[in-house]
Amino acid sequence: MRKVVFDIETKNFFQDVGKNDPSLLDIALVAIYDSETESFSSYLENELTKLWPILERADIIIGFNSDHFDIPLLNKYYPGDLTKIKSLDILREIKDAYGRRMRLDQITEGTLGKHKSGGGRDAIDWWKSGDVEKVRSYCIDDVRLTKELYDYAIANNKLIFKEGGKLNEIKLDTSDWEKPSGNKLTFSLPF
């Protein structure tokens, strides 16, 4: 099964576009982990055409808050419809199982004992100051943490979050996560 874990950093904030609509934002870069090559890579906005064949051949795309944020934003640039590819939003799985949303850093600290290397606001500031490599490194780090959470959840059927100094478990049913879907390709590329 080819899994692609991904994350997006933007060039602007919701307040810059006047509405809490991810599709109004502009992509700075997209970082991915591709299980087929076992490698991390990233794509600037002008390089997204190199990303499409990878996503189209994925059996599943995996993200954190990806259903609400990343997929709608990426779909703005994609010539097909990314919602046709099976996706797993770890944050949605957490909310469905536990009843509320949580920050990625809260889950990575509890589950992995690790912290994010920055925040979304930092990434936009780095982008605006021209530090593309810092944005790239930060985004790849978030992809790495998301992949590690996914792997942990698959192996343990749970994730852990830290709140008030206490560790709390979120039981997850991961039995369908890696079941194949019939909609692998969106046929946006000429075949």
| Domain boundaries along the sequence of the chain | 3-171
What is the mean pLDDT of the segment spanning 95-113? 95
190, pLDDT greater than 80: no
Q: What is the pLDDT of residues 165-187, one digit of tens each?
A: 899 999 999 999 998 876 555 54
Q: Do 35 and 9 contact (CB within 8 A), yes or no?
A: no
Q: How far apart are CA 88 and CA 121, in angstroms?
A: 25
φ, ψ for residue 60, nearest 5 deg: -155, 140
Vertex 142 angle, CA 139 and 144, to 5°: 110
- Assigned CATH topology for domain 3-171: Nucleotidyltransferase; domain 5 (3.30.420)
Q: Give dist(CA 6, CA 42) in Å, integer.
A: 9
Q: What predicted TM-score, i.e. pTM, was given to this entire model?
A: 0.92
